[in-house]
Amino acid sequence: MSTVIPTSQEPVTLPNEILEISISIAVKELDPTLVNEQFLKFSGIVPNEWELNQQPVVSKAGSQLVFKNGLSIVPNPAP
């Protein structure tokens, strides 16, 4: 069942399920190569039982860690 939110013009229909949620965190002088699976688990950011879905992509320009539950963590340095 979709949720309809009335507005002054046309109603907006929201999807039944969330496809993606994005959270951005800005960090000065971030080195994306330091954000790895071990760091995330040791810091308590992700639970120890979470497993990566694929080999992480790691570079100074940005990294990507994708877990089997669908969560992606993509650290990128601020411009």
Q: Output the pLDDT for position 9.
A: 65
What is the residue extent of each domain of the chain?
19-79
Give the long-range contacts of residues 36-42, CB within 8 A, separation 24 or more.
Answer: 36/63, 36/65, 37/65, 40/65, 40/73
| pLDDT recorded at residue 19 | 75
| DSSP secondary structure code for residue 49 in this structure | T
- In the block, residue with structure tokens 């000065």: 28
Per-residue pLDDT of the chain (79 residues; tens, 9 = 90+): 455 455 556 666 767 787 777 777 777 888 989 999 999 999 998 999 999 999 999 988 888 999 998 889 998 887 7
The span from the CA of 67 to the CA of 12, in Å, is: 32
CA 59-62-64 angle, to 5 degrees, is 95
Which amino acid would we find at residue 30?
L
